[in-house]
Amino acid sequence: MLAAPDRSAYEPLVLTREQAQFVLNLYALDALTCRRRYRRAVLSRSKGWGKSPLLAALACVEALGPVVPDGWDADGQPVGRPWSDLRTPWVQLAAVSEDQTRNAWSPLLEMLREGPVLDEYPALEPMETFVNLPKGRIEFVTSAATSREGNRPVFAVLDQTEEWRPSNGGVRLAATIRRNLGKTGGVSVESPNAFVPGEKSVAEASAEYAARINEGRAADAGLLYDHREAPPETDMSDRVSLLAGLKVAYGESDWVDLDRIVAEVWDPDTDPQDARRFYLNQITHATDSWLAHPEWKAVAKPDKVIADKDVITLGFDGSRKRDRGVTDATALIGTRVSDGHQFEVGVWEQPDGPLGIDWQVPVIEVDAAMRMAFDRYTVVGVYADPAKWESYVATWEADFGKRLKVKASRDHPMEWWMTGGRATLIVRALEQYHSAVVDGEMSHDGSFALTRHVLNARRRISRSGIQIAKSHPSSPNKIDAAVAAVLSWQARLDAVAVNANAPRKSKRLYRY
């Protein structure tokens, strides 16, 4: 029915396999309820991949096609009917500026004007600023969120949401559109490039929502998150590596001239961070990030297995204080001494929504996790920032102190404070960990919580050097697992220094 856009003569729109897979996933049904599984979706791809034309096509399908689930036929296959059987279809293409709406609006008009869909739906009128449907309309929207309250769309495209920020009204507009879709049971689809962490864009918030779903922390899993990027080891200065990375990022979009993209990346006026975002679709970092996303992802080794009785060290960062209704997380991170592979033992965070009301860190669970680690592995060192956990740390020292081959100090083998008059030691530990990541001397299990906390960490300059902190003191974006990882790594370095991985008895090392 739809014409392929940007052609000299009519050609039918044919999806690539990658595009078709996204469509199949988007329209997945729950087998028991025959309802659509997803109420929101994100399609994150490189610039020029074809996001906007695909979503323009979906807007046409939602406006005219049988997309509303209507039970099962005699063969057990799903049956659909058009929105017009239930209500007046109202489809919106939204952006924060009129120029952005043209990304999807122009191909949408071509698809409708050049294709046979006009013969099938004689009352269809593709106008320059809106489309009259046989019943209903398709429109683009850019106005303030307040003027959109009360609309009842059945489908909405949110284009380039990496640019939808609080400062330009994008966050508010997205919230309004989603509320309106909730009234009709409609669906929204975002089409961002890679976002810049810390800008609080709609794309960044959606990525965080996807992470919470993957971690099992979200009360609702109605988001389809489809993100493709170049491998983190892609070297933009090497043509072979860059082309290989671009081929991964662009997938089956064979209309993209990758040699031309290489030339754009190498243009001296192209900012390297912009090149990674727009062409490799890599989420890089905020200007004050401690570690960049590609740096961290490059050392992810989720296939590595920590075996029982492996020699490890542990890092612990505890918190039990509530700040304006948001409780800091508590984290326990392990590091295998032999190869520096880090893994998440446990991260305890305040859940979202009603489950987070009056939530406190489950201290019994945390205690059990520490004891499980000593039962399962050969723990040779534990460095803990004991703030608000002094009594528990003291108990762990009493119970396990004799097993440790490296100790924070003679009197307190586990206490390794990240505050107080220890700035020089803290800066050095952070620098050693940072270097280990950048130089590929360590690896990690890719766990969502640890990754999120490391990428949340922001550089802060002190008189002693670079330290890390949250973006602001009351930020809900936690870094506790990052602190625990640094402590675990420091304990591992001290364990290596005394050959604690060897089977023979080693001299203990004390750090003051």
**What's the token pair of residue 426?**
């803290």
**What's the token pair of residue 309?**
């009785």
Number of other CB atoms surrounding residue 274 within 10 Å: 15
314 sits in which H/E element: strand 311-317
Q: What is the mean pLDDT of residues 489-506?
A: 82
pLDDT band for 436, please (50, 70, 90 cuts): very high
245 vs 473, more confident: 245
What Rg do the C-alpha atoms of the chain give, in angstroms?
26
CB 223 within 8 A of CB 209: yes
Distance CA 106, CA 99 (A): 11
**What's the token pair of residue 500?**
């604690």
The pLDDT of residue 14 is 94
Number of other CB atoms surrounding residue 339 within 10 Å: 14
The pLDDT of residue 512 is 39
Range scoring the smallest mean pLDDT among 29-38, 404-413, 417-426? 417-426
CB 458 within 8 A of CB 464: no
102 vs 498, more confident: 498
Q: Mean pLDDT over all residues of the chain?
A: 90
Q: What is the mean pLDDT of residues 324-346?
A: 90
pLDDT band for 407, please (50, 70, 90 cuts): very high
Range scoring the smallest mean pLDDT among 65-79, 354-368, 374-388, 444-458? 354-368
The pLDDT of residue 265 is 95
The pLDDT of residue 333 is 98
The pLDDT of residue 272 is 87
316 vs 102, more confident: 316
Q: What is the mean pLDDT of residues 318-345?
A: 85
The pLDDT of residue 479 is 94
φ, ψ dihedrals at 84, nearest 5°: -65, -20
φ, ψ dihedrals at 209, nearest 5°: -65, -45
CB 232 within 8 A of CB 222: no
Per-residue pLDDT tens digits for 157-215:
999 999 999 989 999 999 999 999 999 999 999 999 999 887 889 999 999 899 889 87
The pLDDT of residue 505 is 47
pLDDT band for 12, please (50, 70, 90 cuts): very high
58 CA to centre of own chain: 24
Instruction: Output the pTM of the full model.
Output: 0.74
pLDDT band for 80, please (50, 70, 90 cuts): very high
374 has pLDDT over 50:
yes
| Domains of the chain with CATH codes | 17-227 (3.40.50.300), 234-282 (no CATH), 297-510 (3.30.420.240)
Distances (CA, A) of 397 to 290, 367, 374, 403, 415: 32, 12, 12, 10, 9
pLDDT band for 107, please (50, 70, 90 cuts): very high
Distance CA 3, CA 13 (A): 5
**Closest among 361, 360, 359 to 369, alpha carbons compared:** 361
443 CA to centre of own chain: 19
CB 59 within 8 A of CB 157: yes
Distance CA 34, CA 30 (A): 5
**Closest among 260, 203, 255 to 227, alpha carbons compared:** 203
CB 57 within 8 A of CB 205: no
Q: Is the dihedral of CA 317, 322, 328, 331 positive or negative?
A: positive
Distances (CA, A) of 84 to 70, 89, 293, 487: 13, 6, 45, 60
CA atoms within 13 Å, Cβ hemisphere of 364: 0
To the nearest 10°, report the CA torsion of 320, 321, 323, 329: -20
The pLDDT of residue 192 is 95
The pLDDT of residue 324 is 55
Distance CA 406, CA 413 (A): 8
Three-state secondary structure of 199-266: CCCHHHHHHHHHHHHHHCCCCCCCEEEEECCCCCCCCCCCHHHHHHHHHHHHCCCCCCCHHHHHHHHH
| Highest-pLDDT range among 227-236, 264-273, 342-351, 482-491 | 482-491
Angle at 341 between CA 336 and CA 344, to 5 degrees: 85
507 has pLDDT over 70:
no
The pLDDT of residue 336 is 98
Q: Is the dihedral of CA 10, 13, 14, 15 positive or negative?
A: positive
The pLDDT of residue 161 is 95
Orientation of helix 480-497 relative to helix 448-456, angle to 10° = 100
The pLDDT of residue 506 is 43
422 sits in which H/E element: none
Distance CA 177, CA 92 (A): 9
